[in-house]
Chain A
Amino acid sequence: MSMAEMEVPRNVVEEYLCMDRMPHMWCSGCGIGTTVNCFVRAIERSKIPRNKIAVVSGIGCTGRVAGYIATDSFHTTHGRAIPFATGLKLARPEMTVIVYSGDGDLIAIGGNHLIHGARRNIDLKIICINNFTYAMTGGQAGPTTPPGSISTTAPYGGFEQEFNLPYLAESSGAVYVARWTSFHVTQLTRAMAECLKKKGMTFLEIITPCPTLYGRRNRQGTGVDTMKMYREMSVVKHGADTKEAAIVPGKEILVGRFVDIDRPTFLDGYNKQMKSRLGERFPEYRGISEESDPLEQHGENEIEQ
């Protein structure tokens, strides 16, 4: 059989990516692209129609994810992806809204929004890429940078205590909390699919290499070396106490699904409370009316993809 006759298997990834924007802007050895690959496979597995998915990012290397995914996508301001997504989700509750951003964006400048989003249990899927640094701006220290790490703004080594993200997310109220690394592509894809299915605010931390700006300065070698380190140091422990999940350089990295509980979402609570106080005077809230949507009026419900 000649090459021309060979059937080329369909690449599911391409269908979900803005291929006209390739090549992407991430460095060689960066883990973000790997997570995007897992993400689009999880979307496909979830069977959620692509036009009912919106991806919202903040600013930074991970902030660029929104621009590469072929769904409705929003590249917002630094740290504010969660409140933007909150407004979008409340206007369009039928959509699955994913917040895909980095540790600097979600945990430092956006930390307040993360804890309040989790407290409210807004139905958002938070994917937090943790590469321990501000990569887009050149490798500065952040609230996830482990003490002792060298960065451009901590040239003599950092000393501030870093956040333990699963513990922060759980104590703020997230209903699903997991951590994987970009080495664990199978588990990661499964975890993303679980998030997409789960109702309420889910928080998935993904440890990824940044060889250019973090690894290089902190003796982690190349991206491949860091992946080998993830393989060797990761310990899967589902249901682990998130208090124990702090990342300490040179020590094991706890991964797995730590939290998976159920509690009413913001909208569940809203509808229940208003109904109890207003009775018949309260029309159940199902999002903003689409009366002004011309496509709805003309009955052209779904645009062919």
Chain B
Amino acid sequence: MKADPAGVLTGAHFIDGDHACCEGALAAGCRFSAGYPITPSTEVVERIAARFPHVGGMFIQMEDELAASIAILGAAWGGAKVLTVTSGPGFSLMMEHIGFAAMTETPCVFVDVQRAGPSTGLPTLPAQADMMQVRWGSHGDYGIIALSPNSPQECFNLTIEAFNLAETYRVPTFLMMDESVGHMTERVVIPAADEIEVVPRRYTSKPSGEYLPYEPEEDLVPAMVPVGRGYNVHVTGLTHDERGYPVMNAAAQDRLIRRLVDKIRKNARRIARYEESRIEGADVVVVSYGITSRVAMEGIRLARENGIKVGILRLVVVWPFPGWRIAELSGQIKAFVVPELNMGQMVLEVERYAAGRAKTHCVPHAGGTVHDPKEIATVIEEAVK
């Protein structure tokens, strides 16, 4: 289905990543957002607060991130496409409801404009140190989808994609921005509404007597029902059966949790998105994402000047991680180089899938600014030795 023109600000704009994210949400059909202010993500909800009333939407500023992250889930069950926005300390508080959303298969989008941590850290300065938290942060086993934009244009594009993936797989989906991308102002082109594809909610066509709320379809995802239709749907964070009723035993747990993990794992190749450049004949492949993928370009240029054959693999969808591609490349190249604004997070996935067939070099950074491209170039040069 095509986007509702009411929410689409078609044209060329000069805006930052935070504002572009809000426009992406509107274009995707999001009409409900609950938030709590936190630097450097606040501009997203400020724009939402200004824009939503014009298009029949609702923004509510809640008392904390716990409230914001579950108010959106209530609205999602009420039929809305929903979004909340935060940064590190707020993201930590939201973990409770990321788990609840995963368990209840509630379509929702969380935006984390990453800043340096832990704790209050550097509120106004960038990091990419929530990449493992987004995957594993809530207790228990579950799957999620996370995307990482590297420009304001991508903040717009990938917010729409995040909504589409959340609706397709009924899973919390994350836009893992960082302070640099959030506050970077660039040209953002918003196409006409009829050029924007949006995925509507997956509602059942079965009548209430035949419908089981947690009976999966072929792709392991169950269809939803709108509330208020007499289906008497019961939604619980407890382990539940296909009827949605709590069942307290290991067999029910196994059946449900395997499906929650498998619906992402088995659809991973369909969900994955990455960009490659000059991989053919490369000795080294730089794996990066978000703002670091742009900084790395200069490091790669420096290394190429010294005659090194360097390819690029940029993760657009970070989770599920395209481990199969790393495994393929690891037989062909000497080494992976992974710069990221953390002390080594996604590099662990690269190393795991390279499985010793190619060396893996981390270029860690504690955050607060971006890498010096020369550091990246140096590691690339050492990697071919």
Q: Are B230 and A288 in contact (CB under 8 A)?
A: no
Given contacts A72-B227, A74-B74, contact A67 B234 (CB under 8 A): yes
Chain A residues in 8 Å Cβ range of B55: 283
- Is A52 among interface residues, defined by CB-CB distance under 8 A? yes
- Is B80 among interface residues, defined by CB-CB distance under 8 A? yes
Distance (whole angstroms) from the CB of A30 to the closest CB of chain B? 18
Given contacts A56-B74, A87-B71, contact A80 B235 (CB under 8 A): no
- Complex CA gap A231/B34 in Å reads 45
Given contacts A92-B228, A281-B54, A303-B230, contact A87 B203 (CB under 8 A): no
- Is A265 among interface residues, defined by CB-CB distance under 8 A? no
* Beyond A77-B96, A112-B64, A295-B203, 15 additional pairs, beta carbon < 8 A: A71-B232, A72-B233, A76-B73, A80-B66, A86-B67, A86-B71, A90-B58, A90-B60, A91-B78, A91-B79, A282-B53, A283-B56, A288-B58, A293-B203, A303-B207
Chain A residues in 8 Å Cβ range of B227: 54, 72, 88, 92, 95
Given contacts A83-B66, A112-B64, contact A91 B32 (CB under 8 A): yes
Q: Are B74 and A289 in contact (CB under 8 A)?
A: no
Given contacts A75-B235, A87-B34, contact A51 B229 (CB under 8 A): yes
Q: Are B205 and A294 in contact (CB under 8 A)?
A: yes
Binding site for B on A (CB under 8 A): 18, 21, 50-52, 54, 56, 66-67, 70-77, 79-80, 82-92, 94-95, 112-113, 116, 270, 274, 278, 281-283, 285, 287-296, 302-305
CB < 8 Å neighbour of B77 from A83, A88, A278, A287: A88
Distance (whole angstroms) from the CB of B322 to the closest CB of chain A? 31
- Is B226 among interface residues, defined by CB-CB distance under 8 A? yes
Q: Are A83 and B54 in contact (CB under 8 A)?
A: no
* Nearest 5 pairs of A and B residues by beta carbon: A91-B78, A87-B74, A87-B75, A88-B74, A87-B71
Q: Are B228 and A76 in contact (CB under 8 A)?
A: no
Q: Are B63 and A21 in contact (CB under 8 A)?
A: no
- Complex CA gap A90/B67 in Å reads 14
Q: Are A67 and B236 in contact (CB under 8 A)?
A: yes
- Complex CA gap A24/B17 in Å reads 51
Count CB-based A-B contacts (< 8 Å).
177
- Complex CA gap A285/B55 in Å reads 9
Chain B residues in 8 Å Cβ range of A52: 228
> A79's closest neighbor in chain B, by CB?
B66
**Which interface residue of B4, B29, B80, B203 has the most chain A CB atoms within 10 A?**
B80
- Is B208 among interface residues, defined by CB-CB distance under 8 A? yes
Measured as residues with beta carbon below 8 angstroms from the partner, the interface class of chain B is 35 or more
Binary CB contact string for chain B from 217 to 237 against chain A (1 if under 8 A, 0 otherwise):
000000000111111111111
Chain A residues in 8 Å Cβ range of B34: 83, 86-87
Binding site for A on B (CB under 8 A): 4, 29, 31-32, 34, 53-56, 58, 60, 62-64, 66-68, 70-80, 82, 96-97, 100, 200-201, 203, 205, 207-208, 226-238, 245-246
- Complex CA gap A74/B237 in Å reads 9
CB < 8 Å neighbour of A92 from B56, B78, B237: B78
Q: Are A88 and B75 in contact (CB under 8 A)?
A: yes
Q: Are B232 and A288 in contact (CB under 8 A)?
A: no
Distance (whole angstroms) from the CB of A88 to the closest CB of chain B? 4
Chain B residues in 8 Å Cβ range of A90: 32, 58, 60, 71, 75, 78
> B205's closest neighbor in chain A, by CB?
A294
CB < 8 Å neighbour of A75 from B76, B97, B238: B238
> A80's closest neighbor in chain B, by CB?
B70
Distance (whole angstroms) from the CB of A24 to the closest CB of chain B? 12
Chain B residues in 8 Å Cβ range of A18: 232, 234
Q: Are A73 and B67 in contact (CB under 8 A)?
A: no
Q: Are A51 and B70 in contact (CB under 8 A)?
A: no
Chain B residues in 8 Å Cβ range of A51: 228-230
10 cross-chain CB contacts under 8 A: A50-B230, A75-B237, A86-B60, A86-B67, A86-B71, A91-B78, A116-B62, A274-B53, A295-B226, A304-B230
